[in-house]
Each structure stands twice: as C-alpha cells, then as structure tokens.
Amino acid sequence: MNYREINIDNPQYLHLVCSGTWEVESSKLCWQDIAERLKQADYSKVLLDEREVELQTSVNVDFSHAGYVADLMRGICSKVAIIDGAENSETNAFYETVCVNRSLNLRFFLNEAEAIDWLTD
C-alpha cells in the first residue's frame, strides 16, 4: 500500500491518500508514519482516503490491526476519519467498532465532505 500527504498547509488535520493493495505490514508502517507526523506537526486529527485501496483481509486480521492502530494513536490523536467505498462497509463497521471500543474516535465515511464535516466539528 502506498500513501502520500496532501493539503500540507491545513492546520486542522493531516490528510493522506492511500492506494494499492492493503497489506498488514505496509499499513502498520503507514500508521507509524502518521503517528510521527502528528507528533511533529502538532496535529491531532487525521483524514485518510482509502478509496483506491484494494482490501484483502479477515476478521482476525482486522481485529488485531484495529487494536494496533488504537494503541498507537492513544494520546496523540483525537479523531480519525477514513473515506472508503461501500463495498467494504461490513469490514469497516467491524474495524470502527474495535477502534471505538479501544478509545480511538475513528469513523468511516463514503464521501469526503461528510468526513471533513465530522472531523472539523
């Protein structure tokens, strides 16, 4: 999975666009990079666009990965909005629940405007 930062001058949130095939290790590296950027730039919110990511996962992998992300973001991130397609809605709902249960305020959205509204509210 590849990612790039956009909207660099936005003081409200870190905005990344991801593409390619989702893999656990590349996703963990992306989240580690997000954590470092949040610390360095004094951000506390993240907008992640995953509409161009091909998702190949399982419930066990999602549970483990969501726990990893929630633990990594603890204390440095107040909100995460992820934009993704409707084809992943079941997986995303499960992932969101795991993160929220571990105290990470994370939500999935189908469009960017709704994600930004929630993120900046």
Q: How many domains does the chain contain in total?
A: 1
Q: Token match 């996703």: residue?
A: 27
CA distance 52 to 35: 22
pLDDT tens column, 27-86? 999 999 999 988 888 789 999 999 999 877 888 999 999 999 999 999 999 999 999 998
CA distance 119 to 46: 8
Question: Do residues 112 and 4 lie in contact, with contact meaning Cβ atoms separated by under 8 Å?
Answer: no
Q: Return the structure tokens found at 100.
A: 């929220």
- Domain encompassing residue 30: 2-120
User: Residue 35: what pLDDT?
Assistant: 94
Q: Return the structure tokens found at 38.
A: 């949040």
Supply the CATH number for residue 93's domain. Answer: 3.30.750.24
